[in-house]
Amino acid sequence: MGRLITTKYLLIISYDGSNFHGSQLQNDLRTIQGDLETVIEKVFGVFSRVSLSSRTDSGVHAEFQVGTFDVEKNKLDSFSVRSALNSYLEEDIRIMDVGVLTSDAIFFDPRKDAISREYVYIFNDSQVLHPRFRDYVYHVKGKLNEHIMNKGASLLLGKHDFIAFAGHSTSIKDYTVREVFQSTVTRTEHFVHFSITSNGFLHQQIRRISGLLLQIGLGKKSPDIIKHYLDSKVRGEFTNVLSPKGLCLKNIKYKDNFLQKFLTN
């Protein structure tokens, strides 16, 4: 009959973003999407476009990124696909889990169907930063007050226009209102974690908010300054974009625990 039947695979991906030029495909530069498409072609013998849920910049890490790709009807099970892809991928990117989407889930879109994303920005205020953490935290000179930072972070909860934290790449016609479901600052020894969950983020939004929380934590600004920027409506008013290496994509959620139906772990 000539009908093309495809298999849609779901990927849970972790990476150390240090040596990538971000997640999104760029000519001649190493990217998450590029590496994935290259190894998928090696394993399946055909090119397949990879869709990723969240865009991460150069140097930003992911514990839990979601991707999909389609290939012609294929008999490889989840476990074999994971092993095969990991055997070709470099060690700084790993497929943690693979699912095979059934025919009723064939239109699943990892980006559009996500209902929330959780990111963490990690500060470290030890006197000397242990070498092991150098690519994963923002090392602060001075001591952070995490309680006052948490007070600032809590003001982000709810629906706000984040245009004051937008970068150049946010276009004038882009919708800049987002809803924040969770926003907290906690400390574990010398690590201060800013965790935020929202229905979406503008480009550089978290790194800019982290820059403001840093000033708050060092006592240079009052936590109420957050309100000022949420009310300001001045595009890109807050200009201090912190290093990408403190930022990590931690989780992505879909309606009705969609992922869990297809994953083995």
Binding site residues, its own copies, CB under 8 A: 14-16, 61, 63, 82, 86, 91-96, 127-132, 134, 136, 265
Tell me how far, at minimum, the Cβ of 54 lies from its own copies, in Å.
Answer: 17
Tell me how far, at minimum, the Cβ of 189 lies from its own copies, in Å.
Answer: 14
Region label for 158, one of left (φ > 0), alpha (ψ between -120 and 50) or beta (otherwise): left
Among positive and negative, which fits the CA dihedral 265, 14, 84, 77?
A: positive
Closest CB to its own copies among residues 18, 182: 18
Could you tell me which residues come within 8 angstroms of residue 50 by beta carbon, excluding any fewer than 6 positions away? 11, 33, 36, 37, 40, 67, 68, 69
Radius of gyration of the chain (CA): 20
Tell me how far, at minimum, the Cβ of 78 lies from its own copies, in Å.
Answer: 12
Tokens of 12: 């849970």
Active site residue 70: no
Q: Of the residues 35, 57, 97, 125, which is catalytic?
A: 57
Closest CB to its own copies among residues 126, 232: 126
Closest CB to its own copies among residues 129, 230: 129
Q: Rounded to an integer, what distance in angstroms lies between the CA atom of residue 33 and that of residue 15? A: 12
Tell me how far, at minimum, the Cβ of 146 lies from its own copies, in Å.
Answer: 22
Closest CB to its own copies among residues 50, 95: 95
- End-to-end CA distance of the chain, in Å? 37
| Residues acting as catalytic residues | 57
